[in-house]
């Protein structure tokens, strides 16, 4: 299932606005989380500063009820770990396929840790601007939830969004992280969004936009 209308997405986001503090997750309950080690680069998610990102994703995950998720920008695996644990909690098992991509081989160690715990996880190594389009063409997934947090550049954001758009089901979403970065914002906006509608996610640290396919 996915969002049936823009109004449903707005109602989902309004639930975030009404919260005084995050209450949809507890990283102490996350499997593998403590084994991921120190971050390589980028955001620190819930390691002490950003507290709303996981809540925002968790709220949308609950309402989208996805069957297939794809993210770019695995890094050390914090977002993938969050997705996998929350989906297991919300769905009572590992029934949702989760793909994650990263360009750097250093991600393989943590990807293997997640694969050992979660049978529904698949890691895709390679430059998303080169690897993503042929991988999607070969696997032809029906995507409900896409999270773009890979190459933080105009070219990277544009390439990723264009590659994913045809594979997102009606009512599915693409969430673009780090909307504060001009390259990410401009590359995304130049990707062509006819038949989509966008909303900024409230309370999301360093901003994110969610696009719903109408």
Q: What is the DSSP string of 103-146?
A: S-GGGHHHHHHHHHH-TTEEEEES-HHHHHHHHHHHH---EEEE
- What pLDDT is recorded for position 1? 58
Q: At a CB cut-off of 8 Å and minimum separation 6, what does 25 contact?
A: 54, 55, 58, 82, 85, 86
Q: E strands along the chain, which residues?
A: 68-72, 97-102, 121-125, 143-148, 168-177, 196-200, 208-213
Amino acid 15: pLDDT: 85
Using the structure block, give the residue that is written with the tokens 């920008």: 73
155-199: pLDDT as tens digits: 999 999 999 999 999 999 999 999 999 999 999 999 999 999 999
> What does pLDDT average to over the chain?
93
Q: Which residues of the chain have pLDDT under 50?
A: none
Where does residue 167 rank: exposed (0-12), middle (13-18), buried (19+ CB within 10 A)? middle
pLDDT value, residue 51? 86
Q: What is the pLDDT of residue 39?
A: 77
Domains located in the chain, CATH noted:
6-37+52-213 (3.40.50.150)
Strand partners, 70: 99, 146
Q: Which pLDDT score is estimated for 50? A: 81
pLDDT score, position 124:
98
Q: Give the per-residue pLDDT at 88.
A: 97
What is the rounded distance in angstroms from the CA atom of residue 88 to the CA atom of residue 168?
Answer: 22
């Amino acid at each position: 299932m996915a969002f049936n209308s823009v109004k449903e997405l707005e109602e989902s986001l309004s639930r975030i606005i009404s919260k005084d503090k995050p209450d949809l997750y507890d990283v102490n309950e996350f499997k593998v989380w403590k084994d991921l080690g120190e971050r390589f680069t980028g955001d620190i998610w819930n390691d002490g500063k950003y507290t709303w990102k996981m809540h925002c994703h968790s709220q949308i995950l609950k309402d989208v009820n996805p069957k297939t998720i794809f993210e770019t920008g695995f890094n050390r695996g914090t977002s993938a770990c969050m997705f996998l644990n929350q989906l297991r909690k919300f769905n009572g098992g590992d029934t949702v396929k989760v793909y994650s991509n990263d360009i750097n081989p250093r991600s393989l160690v943590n990807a293997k840790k997640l694969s050992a715990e979660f049978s529904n996880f698949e890691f895709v190594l390679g430059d998303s601007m080169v690897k993503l389009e042929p991988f999607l063409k070969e696997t032809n997934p029906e995507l409900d939830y896409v999270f773009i947090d890979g190459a933080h550049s105009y070219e990277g954001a544009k390439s990723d969004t264009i590659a994913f758009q045809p594979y997102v089901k009606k009512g599915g979403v693409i969430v673009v992280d780090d909307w504060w970065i001009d390259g990410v914002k401009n590359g995304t906006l130049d990707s062509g969004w006819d038949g989509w509608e966008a909303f900024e996610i409230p309370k999301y640290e360093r901003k994110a936009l969610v696009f719903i396919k109408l």
